[in-house]
Amino acid sequence: MTAATEMPPLTVVLAAPRGFCAGVDRAVQIVERLLASRSAPVYVRHEIVHNRFVVEGLEAKGAVFVEELDEVPDGAAVVFSAHGVPKSVPAEAKRRGLAAVDATCPLVSKVHMEAARRAAEGCQIILIGHAGHPEVVGTMGQVPPESLLLVETAADAEAVAPATPDALAYVTQTTLSVDETREIIAILKRRFPAIAGPKREDICFATTNRQAAVKAIAGSCDAVWVIGAPNSSNSRRLVEVAALAGCPDARLIQGPEEIDWASLGGVSRLGITAGASAPEVLVEAVLAALAARRTLAVEEARHATETLAFKLPIQVRNL
């Protein structure tokens, strides 16, 4: 390997905030506390968060990840992922006597309650989000199917045809592109002036902060790396935001093993951030890999400081 001192120096700009958000941190803590307090396995429905490094770490401690509840033995403990679940899932867990713990992010639960309230008022609901994403599946499962329409793009917003345009509301997935969602909402408000929205936007503060932080550094960097998983919505949005903000080479990597060293040939200023489900240890591992090949000057560009922490569910608070 070429010695670090023989390569051109590299300035690394760390976007802040980055990495774990309050909802992800809470969900991981829930599983870890249950694992520490029980001798029997703890089952988790779907990935607790969208990051294989996190999932594999919990598996090594004894967590068992399943796709559906029929894979969970009667009487076992099961955790619902941070993305939220349809109402039918906790109902089935209760019917079977499972010891269920809901790790849904409180900000996702807020969207669920908003959708249910608007449906109870007789509104048809437009959900802005990505089809098939677990969070969207969970939100759709809070209301009768006829009460909800899914809109993914600005083109969808121009074409959507609600049955009750004068009794209409919208909610959004929490991990969307802030700018793209703003455009979609503007179209809906133009087409349906009476449409009701949440008092506070549904895109969570962590998503907003991470996008603003990477947008602030993207134009001054030769490349931006977003550390996160391919199935992580918020991580993919960060790549898009960096590209739209002027970075000529924005890409997603899961960790140091995915570094394309050839792509760094002409890079003197590299921006790095991490999706909300990527732990800081992965950022540190990428920095260590870079330091083995390049002389690094690391600086942090902080957009905001996050201090919020969500309370753990009562079932695990004192474990």
Domains of the chain: which residue ranges?
4-20+205-302, 22-105, 107-191
107-191: CATH number: 3.40.1010.20
In CATH terms, is domain 22-105 a member of 3.40.50.2300? no
4-20+205-302: CATH number: 3.40.1010.20
The amino acid occupying position 136 is V
Q: Active-site residue 300, yes or no?
A: no
* Per-residue pLDDT tens digits for 15-71: 999 999 999 999 999 999 999 998 889 999 999 999 999 999 999 999 999 999 999
Domains 4-20+205-302 and 107-191 share a fold: yes
Give me the pLDDT at residue 8, please.
Answer: 82
Residue-by-residue pLDDT tens, the chain, 319 positions: 444 545 689 999 999 999 999 999 999 999 999 999 988 899 999 999 999 999 999 999 999 999 999 999 999 999 999 999 999 999 999 999 999 999 999 999 999 999 999 999 999 999 999 999 999 999 999 999 999 999 999 999 999 999 999 999 999 999 999 999 999 999 999 999 999 999 888 999 999 999 999 999 999 999 999 999 999 999 999 999 999 999 999 999 999 999 999 999 999 999 999 999 999 999 999 999 999 999 999 999 999 999 999 999 998 988 7
The length of the chain, given as a count of residues = 319
- The whole model's pTM is what? 0.93
* Per-residue pLDDT tens digits for 93-112: 999 999 999 999 999 999 99
Give me the pLDDT at residue 160, please.
Answer: 98
Among residues 67, 71, 92, 135, the one annotated as catalytic is 135
